[in-house]
C-alpha cells in the first residue's frame, strides 16, 4: 500500500477519469480544474468619489450600483504564496472543518 498525504489526493475528482485544465490567473501554469484554488474577487464597478457624484445626480432614490464578481483560479503554489491557503501539519490536514469566516464590512 502506498503512503497517502491527503485523503482526496489534493483533488475533488472522485469518479471522473480526467478533468480539463485551467490556467492560473497569477502565473498561467496549467492546473487541473478540480485541484485549482478558486476565490471570488468582489469589487465595486465605480470608485467611491464617482459613486458619490452619481448618487447626487441620479433621480432614483437608494439605487445601489452593482458589484463585479470575478472568479479567480490559482494553482496551489500561487495560492500558498498569496496566503489564500496555508501549509498544515500532518494532524492539521485531517481537520476537514472550514476555517472561521471573516466578514469584511463593505461600505454601501
pLDDT tens-digit profile of 75-97?
A: 999 999 999 999 999 999 899 89
**Residues 35-57: what's their mean pLDDT?**
92
Task: Write the DSSP assignment of 80-106 as a string of letters.
Answer: HHTTSS----TTGGG--SPPPP-----
Question: What are the φ and ψ backbone dihedral angles of 69, each rounded to 5 degrees?
Answer: -110, 105
Residue pair 37/85 in contact (Cβ under 8 Å)? The answer is yes
Q: How far apart are CA 66 and CA 84, in angstroms?
A: 25
Residue 72 to residue 69: CA distance in whole angstroms? 9
> Using CA of residue 24, residue 30, residue 33, residue 35, what is the dihedral sign?
negative
The mean pLDDT value of the chain amounts to 91
Residues in the chain: 108
For the cut 60, the answer to whether the pLDDT of residue 108 exceeds it is no
Give this prediction's pTM.
Answer: 0.78
79 φψ region: left (φ > 0), alpha (ψ -120 to 50), beta (else) = alpha
pLDDT of residue 98: 87
Phi, psi of 40 (to 5 degrees): -95, 130
Average confidence (pLDDT) over 39-57: 91
Amino acid at each position: 500500500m502506498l503512503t497517502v498525504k491527503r485523503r482526496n489526493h489534493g483533488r475533488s475528482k472522485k469518479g471522473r477519469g480526467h478533468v480539463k485544465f485551467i490556467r492560473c490567473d497569477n502565473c498561467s501554469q496549467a492546473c487541473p480544474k478540480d485541484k485549482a484554488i478558486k476565490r471570488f474577487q468582489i469589487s465595486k464597478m465605480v470608485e467611491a468619489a464617482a459613486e458619490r457624484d452619481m448618487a447626487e445626480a441620479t433621480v432614483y432614490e437608494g439605487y445601489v450600483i452593482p458589484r463585479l464578481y470575478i472568479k479567480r483560479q490559482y494553482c496551489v503554489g500561487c495560492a500558498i504564496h498569496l496566503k489564500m491557503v496555508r501549509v498544515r501539519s500532518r494532524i492539521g490536514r485531517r481537520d476537514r472543518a472550514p476555517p472561521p469566516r471573516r466578514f469584511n464590512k463593505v461600505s454601501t
